[in-house]
Amino acid sequence: MFTSLRLQRFKAWADTGVVDLAPVTLLLGTNSSGKSSLIQSLLLLKQTVQSADRTIHLNLGGHERGDVFHFGDFGSILKQGAEERQFGIAFGFRRHGAQERVRQGRFEATYGQSASGTAVVQQLRLGGEGNPTLRVQRRSRGAFSISVEPEARPRGRSAAYAPERSIALPSKAIALLGEEGAVAQDISLAIRRELEELVYLGPLRRKPARDYVWNKARPGEIGSDGHRVIDVLLASALLPGPDRHQLIDSVSHWLRRLELADGLQVRQIGRSTHYEVVIAAHGVVANLLDVGVGISQVLPVLTVAHVAPPGSTVILEEPEIHLHPLAQSVLAELFVEVSRERQVQFIVETHSEHLFRRMQTLIARDHLAPSDCALYFVERQPGGEGQPSGSGLRRLEVDAYGRVANWPERFFGDALSETEEQARLLFQRSMAGRP
C-alpha cells in the first residue's frame, strides 16, 4: 500500500506537503479543486512502468494500449506560473507479504523538460527500509551521476546511467554500484510491483449490454471504465476451481447490503456462446439492462474490491454515482470491511455526504480506528498578485467519536440552517394567515 504522497508544482499543486495515506483514504472537495490531480500522479507513474519503452522517463500517455490517462505535454503538468521549470512526485510504500525482499521504501523524482520537449528525470532517489538511498542526478550533456547517500562523491557519471521508466537503473549503473546494485534492483522491483498492482476505476463506467460473448478466459484488470467487469464475473461463475462462484456470492452479498437487489446470476442463452447477467429483486428476475442504472454502475466497484490482489491499492472516483443515499452510506462499510479482510487499500475521491457521514459513524461505533482512515478536504486557493490560483489540502481531524474538529464550512450544505429557515418561513406564513 502507499503510505504517503507528495506533489510539487504538479498541475494545480504548488506543494501538497507530505500527504499521509491510510488503508482507507477519502478525498473530498469542490469541483476542479485538484482532487483528481492527486490520483493522476500515481496513474502517470503506473503507465510509465508498464510502458514498452524502457528508456522512457515519463509516459504521458495517448500512444500505448495500456495508457490510463493522456496528460498532454510537459507544460500541461507543470503548474502554471511556476518559477522553477520542474515538477516532483514522491511516495512512500509498504509491501504486503512475507516473501517481499523490500518491505518498505520510498520514491522521489523531479522532472524537467528536455530540448526535445519530453519530460526527463532531473533527480531520482530510491530508498528502502534498512538500505542505503540511491540518487541519480542529471548533469550536462545528457550525463547522469550515480551516488549512494550519504557518500559525498558520486560513484560515476555517464549518459549510460540514465534511469529507466523513472524507477530503475540500467545494467551499467547496477554493475558500477556493486553490492548496492543488487539493493537498487530490489527497491526498483518493489516500486514496480506497487505501481503495477494499483487498480483504477474512473467515474464514467460503461453501460451494460443485454448479452455477452465469453471467450472462456480469465481477464486481468477490469479497465478504468469497468468494461471487463462482466468477463470477470463470467469467469468466476463458469471456470472450474476452488474459488468458483465466490466472487458472485460476494457481489450478491453487497448488493443485499446496499439494498439494491437480492442477488446476481449469470445464465447461458440457449446453447450459444452468449450469456446474460440477471438481477433478482423483490421476487422478480430481470436482465441487468432492465434494472436501475445504479446497479450496473456499482458492479465494477463491488467486483474490483474483491478481485484486487491482497496488498494492492484501489483508486476509485465517485463510486457513489447513481446510488440512492442509503447505498452511498453502505459503501463506507464495503471499503472498511474489505480493506481489513483482504488487506486492500482504498483511495476514494467522492462528493457523497452520506458516504462520509457513515465513515464517521463507523469510527464512533469503534468499527474503524481513526488511524486506519485519512480524510482530506481539497479546496481552491487564490493565487498571489499576478499568480494563478492553486489547490490547498487540509487533513480533517477526527476523534474517536467520529467528530471532525476542522470541517470546512458549508461544503455539504448546512442542514441545520435549512431547517431553521423552513421553521421561520412556516411561522411567518402562519402569522400572516397563509396556508
Phi, psi of 346 (to 5 degrees): -120, 125
Task: Look up cell 530540448; give the residue.
Answer: 115
CA distance 24 to 35: 16
At 241 the pLDDT is 81
Number of H helices, E strands in the chain: 10, 19
pLDDT at res. 152? 86
Residues 6+ apart with CB under 8 A from 6: 15, 16, 17, 18, 19, 88, 89, 90, 91
Task: Specify the pLDDT at position 418.
Answer: 64
| Cβ atoms 342, 314 nearer than 8 A | no
Q: Identify the pLDDT of residue 62.
A: 79
Looking at residue 59, what is its pLDDT?
94
Query: Is residue 266 classed as helix, strand or coil in its secondary structure?
Result: strand
Q: What is the mean pLDDT of each run of 10 residues along the chain (435 residues)?
A: 96 94 93 87 95 93 79 92 93 85 93 92 93 93 92 93 95 94 93 95 92 82 90 90 88 96 92 91 93 94 95 96 95 97 96 93 94 92 68 90 83 61 75 71
Residue whose C-alpha cell is 537503473? 169
Q: Are 104 and 91 in contact (CB under 8 A)?
A: no
The helix/strand/coil state of 383 is coil
